[in-house]
Amino acid sequence: MTQQSTSIRVAIVDDQALVRTGFRMMLEAEPDFEVVGEAADGAQAIGLARSTSVDVVLMDVRMPGVDGIAATAAITANPAAPRVIVLTTFDLDEYAFAAIRAGASGFLLKDARPQELVAAIRTVHSGEATLAPRVTRRLIELFADDLPAAAEASREAPTLLDALTPREREILLAIAEGLNNGELAAHFFLSESTVKTHVGRLLQKLGARDRVHLVILAYEHGLLAADGKAGHRR
């Protein structure tokens, strides 16, 4: 479970001991990070998340036994769950995208620069999501075959999006297109605090866990087309 702490508590999950050691050395060099545990597979990761106060889990996807997808789903099922950042070797990895759908809040390549990993952990810990627009597009492309039916169904019956105000719908659209809070503020001529309020209301109204989930909901409900363009749903 996550609890208040002056440090960001991180758990490292990877089936390779050398990889875990490398990440631990990198993270322990940061004054505000504390590595509170390691796991070599998904089953160990689930147990660690349940028994230790963890804020962010670095989750490898391809592991023997219980893989990162199943582990992510089990960990994030708890409302007080830690955030999960998916780690993968390739930037187009169906397993990683599936883990994101299972509840992960971020996606990062294993060869990312140290400062990128550190920034991603801090971003996710603050309640944001860490997905570059190119990864968002690839996430949607991967599930594009499933989206038309979902989008068509959403036009035939009331959906969660019907509860949104016009401005909330515009902000959801912009989030789905990859804009961060600063860019949203500039685009809509709003203060960042106002943007955060709108985003908070979107999360609450749509029952979304984070911005990544908002992106998926926007596509699944036909707000955007699979090519990243604004859809026809109003």
Q: What is the per-residue pLDDT for 33? A: 95
Q: Which two tokens stand for residue 201?
A: 């209301």
Crossing angle of helices 192-206 and 211-220, rounded to 10°: 60
For each of the domains in the chain, give its residue range(s) and CATH number, in order of start. 8-130 (3.40.50.2300), 140-220 (1.10.10.10)
Per-residue pLDDT for 208 more than 70?
A: yes
N-to-C CA span, the chain:
39
Residue 189 burial by Cβ neighbours in a 10 Å radius (0-12, 13-18, 19+): exposed
Contacts by residues 18-25 (CB-CB < 8 Å, ≥ 24 positions apart): 19/60, 19/110, 23/58, 23/117
Per-residue pLDDT for 5 more than 70?
A: no
pLDDT tens-digit readout, 110-123: 888 888 889 889 88
Q: Which residue has the higher pLDDT, 155 or 105?
A: 105
Q: How far apart are CA 139 and CA 121, in angstroms?
A: 20
Find where tokens 């866990």 sit. Answer: 209
Name the average pLDDT for the chain. 79
Q: How many residues does the chain have?
A: 234
pLDDT tens-digit readout, 17-30: 999 999 999 999 99
Q: How far apart are CA 195 and CA 184, in angstroms?
A: 7
Mean pLDDT on 204-224: 78
Q: Which of 115, 121, 4 is nearest to 59 (CA)?
A: 121
Per-residue pLDDT for 151 more than 50?
A: no
Highest mean pLDDT among 25-29, 141-145, 175-179: 25-29
Mean pLDDT on 68-75: 92
How does DSSP assign 15-69, residue by residue?
S-HHHHHHHHHHHHTSTTEEEEEEESSHHHHHHHHHHS--SEEEEES--SSS-HH
Q: Which of 121, 113, 127, 172 is nearest to 8 (CA)?
A: 121
Q: How far apart are CA 190 and CA 193, in angstroms?
A: 8
Q: How far apart are CA 21 and CA 62, in angstroms?
A: 18
Q: Which two tokens stand for residue 13?
A: 């999950």
Residues 6+ apart with CB under 8 A from 216: 101, 139
Mean pLDDT on 140-169: 62
Q: What is the per-residue pLDDT for 47? A: 94
Per-residue pLDDT for 71 more than 90?
A: yes
Measured from the Cβ of residue 216, the count of other Cβ atoms closer than 10 Å reads 19
Name the amino acid, one letter, at 79: P
Q: Which of 13, 99, 109, 92 is nearest to 56 (CA)?
A: 13
